[in-house]
Amino acid sequence: MSEENPNSGTITIRKDSLWKYFTFLLLAIVIIGGFVAFRGGGGSPTGNVIAPTVPTQPTAPTQPSQVRVSIGDAPVLGNPDAPVTIVEFSDFQCPFCGRFYSDALASIKTQYIETGKVKFVYKDFPLVSIHPMAQPTAEAARCARAQGGDDAFWKYHDKIFENQAALSTTTLKQWAKDLGYNIDSCLDSGEMRSVVQQDLAEATAAGGQGTPYIVVISGDGSTIPISGAQPFSVFQQAIEASL
């Protein structure tokens, strides 16, 4: 408690009262400081919580805008003088190649190949590390072509993709016989192995990173590379831009 000294005109404060005042003041400072810290950085009463960092999805590898592709002696479907050429680097055991065959290619045939606007070229891109039957199947198709030309190749090509789940050396030989060809000795000898490997090397050099890898080529040599079993609309846009 405080006391007034009538003789001196001053106010004196007892020690026990001074301790109480000092304690109260210190407690008030702590409370006020804590409130300020909470408002400024320790909390977020307004709801402005910092959002956690969300990892972005990895982007697909980009393809070169222009690639060099040669037709060479590859099988051709359609008008040889068509203004647009489509080269497919494909793997006979690849499920995505099978999807391209049954979906987009069917529409490309109807709207562009059969109307003389596009010729379609098939080249081999066997991914042997994940598709052990890709190489022998590619060789078998080449063996069929050696006996019956492009017509035999495309019939055999369709037979393979329509029966992808049944690929084996036995079925490859039997399918050829069903079409009127005997490829047994050709396939067993590995006669077409180097031909298939040449296509594989070209696919890699042209920027292929997976199958199917398709390159649309216009009359002036401009190229539009497309990776994967894309919907028909993607190929249609590329073809129309190349006509």
Q: Are 227 and 60 in contact (CB under 8 A)?
A: yes
How far, CA to CA in Å, does 149 sit from each of 76, 155, 194?
10, 10, 19
Run of H or E including 119: strand 118-124
Contact call for residues 216 and 84 (beta carbons, < 8 A)? yes
Residue 49 lies in a domain: no
Q: Are residues 183 and 92 in the same domain?
A: yes
User: How many structural domains comprise the chain?
Assistant: 2
Task: Give pLDDT, residue 195.
Answer: 96
- Confidence band of 188 (pLDDT split at 50, 70, 90): very high
150 plus 201 within the same structural domain: yes
- The answer to whether the predicted template modeling score (pTM) of the entire model surpasses 0.75 is no
Task: Classify 48 as helix, strand or coil.
Answer: coil
Q: Are residues 28 and 87 in the same domain?
A: no
Cα Rg of the chain, angstroms: 38
Q: Which residue has the higher pLDDT, 46 or 137?
A: 137
Residue 192 lies in a domain: yes
Residue 225 lies in domain? 76-242
Q: What pLDDT digit, counting tens, does each position of 1-24 carry?
A: 444 444 444 444 444 544 454 555
Write out pLDDT tens, residues 68-124.
898 999 999 999 999 999 999 999 999 999 999 999 999 999 999 999 999 999 999
Task: Please give the pLDDT value at position 67.
Answer: 85
| 156 in the same domain as 211 | yes
Looking at the structure, do residues 107 and 188 belong to the same domain, yes or no? yes
**Taking the CB of residue 117, how many other CB atoms lie within 10 A of it?**
18
Helix, strand, coil in percent for the chain, rounding step 5: 50, 15, 40
